[in-house]
Amino acid sequence: MDDSAVVPPPHLGRPLRLLPFRGLALPPRRVGDPAAVGALARPYRDAPARLALWERTGRVWRDQEPAVYVHEYVVEGMVVRGLVGALDLRHRSADPADRAVLPHEGVHPGQVDQLAKRMRRMALNPAPILLVHRGPVAVRDLMDRAAETEPVRAFTDRADHQHRVWALRRPDQLDALGDALASATPMIADGHHRYAATLRLQHERPGTAWDHGLALLVDQDDTPLFLGAIHRIVRGAHLEDFAQVESGTGTFRRYATDAALQALSEDTLVLTDGKAWATLALKVPAEETAVDVLHGRVLPELSVESGLVTYHHRVADALQHVRPRRDVAVLMPAADFDTVHRIVAHDRLMPEKATSFQPKPALGVLMRSLRDG
């Protein structure tokens, strides 16, 4: 298969189960530092032995007993909390109505292959897959009660983000959690390739520690994630190309200045070649978003290949990297959470890099060793 192709990830079947595991963590000063995780994990084949050494020398924290954890983190005043547990991967489902986890983007098979190989050598889940849903009140109540007790960890990391972690271990807590989550259907907010790679490893090695992955489940009704846009640069394109878009797809309008930015909305894109400005007001069908129309109709009309599109999370970055009169920056509106969830609940995928859920959990707060079983 073409490694550049995008395919749906495998589907996990219900019930959704987050199970206890023995948490691992980096020291507070190393949390969120990719170099620290790299120092632990590379070369990948040596990661298990290095982890054991770091444990003996006190360079990592390891919980003494398994738990499902409540992780609360505060980033620039925004509070996010969720459940971190070992995600049960043993059940698959071909029936959309029976799926436990909903991906919203496809994956590149080549990237999944490489990631699975790396994870197999590491025998470590260094970061959780980020899941989000509108959760049951019972789970929020459980987290509220946990937050009234003493956390097992509380610290400020190197980026000045605050973290608190509580452990759910009692049988009554775990039973209540299992009952409340059994029918849940969260969406993947971040980590599609890790999710697919983890399912690949479980399929290859059933009955082992690979029967479980690592996930953080956030309730959008409790501490909502921010859903931001990801902007595009179309390499080698010109503003006049977008003026040729068929009227049934959108309406092109030129602007003399960056006043075009004020027109950015859920169905209107802002375009610039670094000198001139324009807008493209799209005709967005129900149960679609602007990014669906851009990749499903606009770019195909322009015969733009996917490899000619680059992605930027900040408007300033997109404007900085556009080559004047040689590229077109396409500034995107953010998608709405409920619209995205309805799309994926109907067994559809959005284009690559359609969404940006923020803030993501920092690396090293909670990790899982596959050597623990």
139-151 pLDDT, tens digit per residue, is: 999 999 999 999 9
Q: Encoding tokens for residue 318? A: 């997109």
CA angle 126, 130, 134 (to 5 degrees): 155
- pLDDT above 60: residue 285: yes
328-341 burial, b if ≥16 CB within 10 A, otherwise e?
A: bbbbbbbbebebbb
Q: Return the axis-axis angle of helices 137-147 and 171-181, rounded to nearest 10°.
A: 150
pLDDT tens digit sequence for 196-244: 999 999 999 999 999 999 999 999 999 999 999 999 999 999 999 999 9
Q: In the prediction, which pLDDT does 58 show?
A: 87
Confidence band (pLDDT; 50, 70, 90) for 71?
very high
Q: Quick check: bond before 15 cis, omega within 30?
A: yes
Confidence band (pLDDT; 50, 70, 90) for 55?
confident
Q: In the prediction, which pLDDT does 373 show?
A: 66
Q: In the prediction, which pLDDT does 1 show?
A: 44
- pLDDT above 70: residue 4: no
Q: What is the pTM of this model?
A: 0.94
Beta strands in 220-362 (DSSP E): 226-228, 231-235, 250-255, 268-272, 277-282, 309-312, 327-331, 356-358
Confidence band (pLDDT; 50, 70, 90) for 186?
very high
Q: How far is CA 262 from the centre of its chain?
A: 29
Which residue ranges form the domains of the chain, and what is each CATH number?
Answer: 18-225+358-372 (3.90.1530.10), 230-333 (no CATH)
Percent of the chain with pLDDT over 70: 98
pLDDT tens digit sequence for 310-354: 999 999 999 999 999 999 999 999 999 999 999 999 999 999 999
pLDDT tens digit sequence for 159-178: 999 999 999 999 999 999 99
Mean pLDDT of 74-93: 96
* Cα distances (angstroms) measured from residue 241 to each of 252, 270, 279, 285, 335: 10, 14, 13, 23, 25
